[in-house]
Amino acid sequence: MGGLLASGGDDKTVRLWDVQTGECCKILVNNDWIRSVAFSLDGKIIGCACVNHTVEIWDIETGQRLIILQGHNNWVRSVTFSPDGTLYSGSQDGAIKQWNVTDGECIKTLMPKRPYEGMNIKGVSGLGEEQTNTLKELGAIED
């Protein structure tokens, strides 16, 4: 095979394409919709960002799923590999996670401070249930 490109989408598959021939040379069937794919720098594995809050790691040569990385609380929107072989994934909730793709361990989580982080809204009048829930999503607490 020549160089490879990958595509993923709502059909829960990642398609590997041979750049030289334009042919689809392999189809990997994931557990959910794919939002992003990335090749490891050595070209041996691929990471897939999934809507079901996971990242799936696949062996390109064998077409086998190696591991499912779990720990995000929302859609995983993007994935990329670093030069040291770890994988970074970014979620809809703003979290970025660094992963060991061999054992599935989350090494680090980076999370931006939300706009209402820690704001205590207990006893605040004039808020409906929907507004209260929205403020909680933005970091407010009822403590």
Q: What is the pLDDT of residue 112?
A: 85
DSSP category for residue 137: H
Q: What is the pLDDT of residue 41?
A: 94
Q: What are phi and psi of 135, to 5 degrees?
A: -60, -35
Same domain, 11 and 47: yes
Same domain, 93 and 58: yes
Q: Name the 3-class secondary structure at 95.
A: coil
Say how far residue 79 (Cα) sits from the centre of its chain: 6
Same domain, 13 and 73: yes
Same domain, 47 and 107: yes
pLDDT along the chain (143 residues), means of 10: 84 95 94 95 96 96 96 96 96 94 96 87 92 91 89
- CATH number, domain of 94, equals 2.130.10.10
Distance CA 6, CA 16 (A): 5
Q: What is the pLDDT of residue 1?
A: 44
Same domain, 97 and 120: no
Q: In what order do the strands lie in the sheet with 4-8?
A: 4-8, 13-18, 24-29
**Are the CB atoms for 78 and 118 separated by under 8 Å?**
no
Same domain, 56 and 121: no
Q: Tokens 């189809």 identify what position? A: 27
- Number of structural domains the chain divides into: 2
Q: What is the pTM of this model?
A: 0.79
Same domain, 12 and 39: yes
Q: Can you give the residue range of the structural domain that contains 40?
A: 4-112
Same domain, 120 and 108: no
